[in-house]
Amino acid sequence: MNMSSFHATEAQWFLRVLITDPMSSIYVLRGSGTWQFAVEFIYRIYSCGLTDFAFDVLTKSEQSPNTTYDGIEDFCYHLSITDPDDFESIIWIDANIILTPFGRKLMEEYFKDSSKDWSNELNIPFIEKLEDIFTEHGLEWNLENPKFPVVGNSEYL
């Protein structure tokens, strides 16, 4: 497993919540996650087809120039330069992330027993499969060499 146990638990929690509810990007941080982790994780889960956005934020629109972007790389770049504590910027809270059918199938496969409380238990086979999916898409997990290095100061660094 390449992800730290901490980040793997955060990833597992976020994707499990998506089974029932769309969530904005800020929830990847969940109050204790790292900014760099959040940006890299959002990029990978979208690029691998596990998630999508509840509305099309990845097609630049003249009607909504401050809430639409030129694809996932532009979106993640803006996440990386926008402090999650900056409440004047809505990028972290506006775009709701949802599971795709592929993402839902993956979650159902590894979390069949919906009554089990996974809050404090890491499903290692799930995280290994998630990392395999990242690798299959050429997006190996590596926070030491981020695709979108964060810029700025925040409690989330």
Segments making up each domain of the chain, as ranges? 5-56+93-136
Q: Give the residue with greater pLDDT, 119 vs 140.
A: 140
CA distance 24 to 87: 14
CA distance 51 to 106: 11
Q: In the numeric block, which tokens belong to residue 13?
A: 């929690």
**Lowest-confidence pick of 10-14, 17-21, 96-100, 150-154:** 150-154
pLDDT in tens, 59-83: 877 777 777 788 999 999 999 998 8
Architecture of domain 5-56+93-136 in CATH? Orthogonal Bundle (1.10)
Q: Are 36 and 154 in contact (CB under 8 A)?
A: no
Quick check: 127 pLDDT over 50?
yes
pLDDT of residue 157: 46
CA distance 99 to 18: 6
**Per-residue pLDDT band at 154 (split at 50, 70, 90):** low
> What is the pLDDT of the chain when averaged over all its residues?
88
**Per-residue pLDDT band at 155 (split at 50, 70, 90):** low
Eight-state DSSP code of residue 51: E
CA distance 93 to 65: 16
pTM: 0.90
What number of H helices and E strands is found in the chain? Answer: 6, 3
